[in-house]
Amino acid sequence: MSKLYDENSIQSLSPLEFTRLRPGVYVGSTEYSTQLLLEIIANAIDEYRAGHGNKIEVSIKDKIISVRDYGQGFLVNAIREDGKTVLEASFSVLNTSGKYDEDGVYEGTALGLNGIGSKLATYLSHWLKVTSTRAGEKESETIVFEEGKFKSRSIEPSSINESGTLVVWEPSEDFFTNVGVDIESIKKFFKVVVCLCPGLTIILDNNGDISTYVSDNGLKDMMDEIVKDQIEIPKNRLYINFSQDKNKIDLALTYTTRYSSTIIPYVNTGLTEQGPHITQIKTIITREMNKFFRDKGWLKEKDSNLTGDDCQEGMCLIFNITAPNVSYDAQTKTRIVKLDMKPFTSAIAEELQYWLAANEKDIKSIADKALNARKAREAARKARDAARGVKAKKDNGLKAKMKLSDKFIDCTNKNPKDRNLLLVEGMSAGSAAVEARNPKTDCIYMLRGKTISPLKTSIEKILANQEMSDIIKVIGGGFGKDFNVNSINFDKVVITSDADSDGANIELLLITFFYTYMRPLVENGKLYRAVTPLYIIRQKGKEYYCYTETEMEEWKNTHTGNYDVLRAKG
């Protein structure tokens, strides 16, 4: 019999009790205590953006973390009606903040806008100690919390003629799998933040390893880091620095020869994942490019407009929007549900139009890239439609569904995680591989020899080529930009060619094909090269493998007696 609740079953928890019971509601992932550091850092960054202090010092010593800013500091020993000082309430009373008012010091554009972040560090730590000083005042105030609760307050004489706040805490293992921080993500965050806040210096002491982060050129430094190993198409990047009242946008845009796009969207110096700001900026770029391409005759009257995906191929976009009244879906502030983009749209469009016109020669290359992307997209769609249009016969295996030739040999296991595809050079080698394989997990596709060159052949001809079309259908997951590595029919794709010049050419052509049109297959570690021996030596019932001529000579020099040598093809 199920239990019935009574009046004692319904509980009301205090903010401290609820946060400690359900920490993930506020901090997201609890694998590391990184979010606590980010919350305190956000307050220090808000101080800098409000014009107070240009340095932040972060220390990580084993389990102890500290942040020192040189902002305006808290009012010292300022008692509220509830008997708490302003400093104590700011670190213990949920939804207490000086950042709500748009007419206040922070103008409603602060990242730490909910009055929650500093309390999380208090609630989820064994202890937290905060000391604040204001320049010109002769005293500093220190508050100590233990297990989220107030322990002590002290007022000390201060000889330091600098404003600022020092927060030190020890995260509790009761709430985090690892009480430390994800140091690599923190370093990456600091590198980005100083680009978003030129003039700010962040000094990180990670157990004695000192790193200093500073940027003189803002988004330019950040873009340089992103495209440093890539070929950039335009000689002149687009930079936008626009401000109107409390609204401001800093934006950098360029294109590379890569097929994927990179979009890094910040709002009030916080990295975001979704929201109307991303959608609208991408829409503006697509609209203005289609208009410009048509004006130049690169898009014909009969042609349909390019899609956003077409226009974003190879795009690198970074921006930071400063705006009031931003609404997020959670305390981690990665998804924005409300942000007024009206102050920015016309400015972005005008600057983009000017950039397109001033760099017409380079923009033509970007247009060609977008048009090729559309061709690939349409060709991939036709290939998918063709594959989906074939009905399966009695055999429900992959070969039956795709109507493949006898060059494809299926295995019995239909779970993609347990299947391997061996691309074998030649029919004779394929027959041998069929005999030697594990029939439960290993599938064979027999290549007739060298494949067509993926870089010298148009997409239409690649898809029309029976062998390449077969490979695309067998692997599954699509083609080009639509390729989805999570939808492929195998765990591994293994190139199995001879260890000679022809085999090397086949290997290179296939790797180029996969890297060009199924790159996630390579990047996710799904593409393999089978390494097989040139010589198999049999002696006294044992077999020895030699993969090179040098290995064969070394074996001969180190072994005596009779032996048999089988010359394999590698």
**What are the pLDDT digits (tens) for 319-344?**
999 888 787 766 555 678 788 888 89
**CA angle, 23 as apex, 20 and 26 as ends, to 5°?**
130
Q: Say how far apart CA 99 and CA 92 lie, in whole Å.
A: 16
Whole-Å CA distances, 223 to 227, 242, 356: 6, 18, 19
515 membership: H or E segment, kind and range: helix 501-517
pLDDT of residue 99: 45
Sign of the torsion angle spanned by Cα atoms 179, 185, 189, 190: positive
Question: For tokens 């205590």, what's the residue?
Answer: 33
pLDDT of residue 97: 60
Whole-Å CA distances, 396 to 385, 391, 393, 403, 414: 19, 10, 7, 11, 10
Architecture per CATH, 390-529:
3-Layer(aba) Sandwich (3.40)
441 and 417 Cβ atoms separated by less than 8 Å? no
Q: What does the buried/exposed string (b/e) look like for 22-38 if buried means 16 or more CB atoms within 10 Å of the residue's CB?
A: ebeebbeeeebbbbbbb
DSSP assigned state of 75: P
Q: Say how far apart CA 111 and CA 326 lie, in whole Å.
A: 9
Q: Say how far apart CA 404 and CA 409 lie, in whole Å.
A: 9
φ/ψ region of 527 (left if φ > 0, alpha if ψ in -120 to 50, else beta) reads beta
449 and 227 Cβ atoms separated by less than 8 Å? no
DSSP string across 204-261: EEETTEEEEEE-SSTHHHHHHHHHTTS-BS-SS-EEEEEEETTEEEEEEEEEBS-SS-
| Pairing relationship of beta strands 149-157 and 139-146 according to DSSP bridges | antiparallel
Which residue, among 520, 529, 433, 440, has the nearest Cα to 480 in the 3D structure?
520
Fold of 219-369: Ribosomal Protein S5; domain 2 (3.30.230)
Q: Say how far apart CA 549 and CA 564 lie, in whole Å.
A: 16
pLDDT of residue 173: 93
461 and 452 Cβ atoms separated by less than 8 Å? yes
Token output for 283: 């829409």
Q: Say how far apart CA 203 and CA 68 lie, in whole Å.
A: 10
Q: Say how far apart CA 371 and CA 366 lie, in whole Å.
A: 9
Kindly give the interhelix angle for 34-49 and 183-196, rounded to the nearest 10 degrees.
10
Using DSSP's 3-state secondary structure scheme, residue 129 falls into strand
Q: What is the largest CA-CA distance in the chain?
A: 98
Q: Say how far apart CA 125 and CA 67 lie, in whole Å.
A: 15
Whole-Å CA distances, 148 to 15, 127, 160, 226, 493: 10, 7, 29, 41, 53
pLDDT of residue 117: 77
pLDDT in tens, the chain (570 residues): 566 777 777 777 887 888 888 888 878 788 889 989 988 998 899 888 888 889 999 999 989 999 999 988 888 888 888 888 888 888 988 777 654 444 444 344 444 444 577 889 999 999 999 999 987 777 889 999 999 899 999 988 876 678 889 999 999 999 998 888 999 989 988 998 899 888 899 999 999 999 999 998 999 999 998 898 888 999 999 999 998 888 999 999 999 988 778 889 988 888 887 788 888 999 999 999 999 999 999 998 888 899 998 899 899 999 999 888 787 766 555 678 788 888 899 999 999 999 999 999 999 999 999 998 887 777 666 655 654 444 434 445 544 444 555 678 888 888 999 999 998 876 656 666 777 788 899 998 888 767 888 887 777 778 777 788 888 888 988 888 778 898 899 999 999 887 766 777 888 889 989 998 899 999 999 999 988 788 889 988 888 888 888 888 998 898 888 888 887 765
DSSP assigned state of 93: S
Q: Say how far apart CA 167 and CA 143 lie, in whole Å.
A: 10
Bridge partners, 510 (sequence order): none
Using DSSP's 3-state secondary structure scheme, residue 51 falls into coil
**What are the pLDDT digits (tens) for 493-521?**
999 887 766 777 888 889 989 998 899 99
For 15-214, the fitting CATH number among 3.40.190.80, 3.40.50.300, 3.30.565.10, 3.40.640.10 is: 3.30.565.10
**Residue 316 CB contacts under 8 Å (≥ 6 apart), including other chains:** 223, 226, 227, 252, 253, 254, 255, 256, 261, 262
288 and 349 Cβ atoms separated by less than 8 Å? yes
Whole-Å CA distances, 186 to 59, 224, 227: 12, 20, 21
Q: Say how far apart CA 534 and CA 60 lie, in whole Å.
A: 54
DSSP string across 224-238: HHHHTTS-BS-SS-E
Question: For tokens 């430094």, what's the residue?
Answer: 221
φ/ψ region of 224 (left if φ > 0, alpha if ψ in -120 to 50, else beta) reads alpha
448 and 467 Cβ atoms separated by less than 8 Å? yes
102 and 119 Cβ atoms separated by less than 8 Å? no
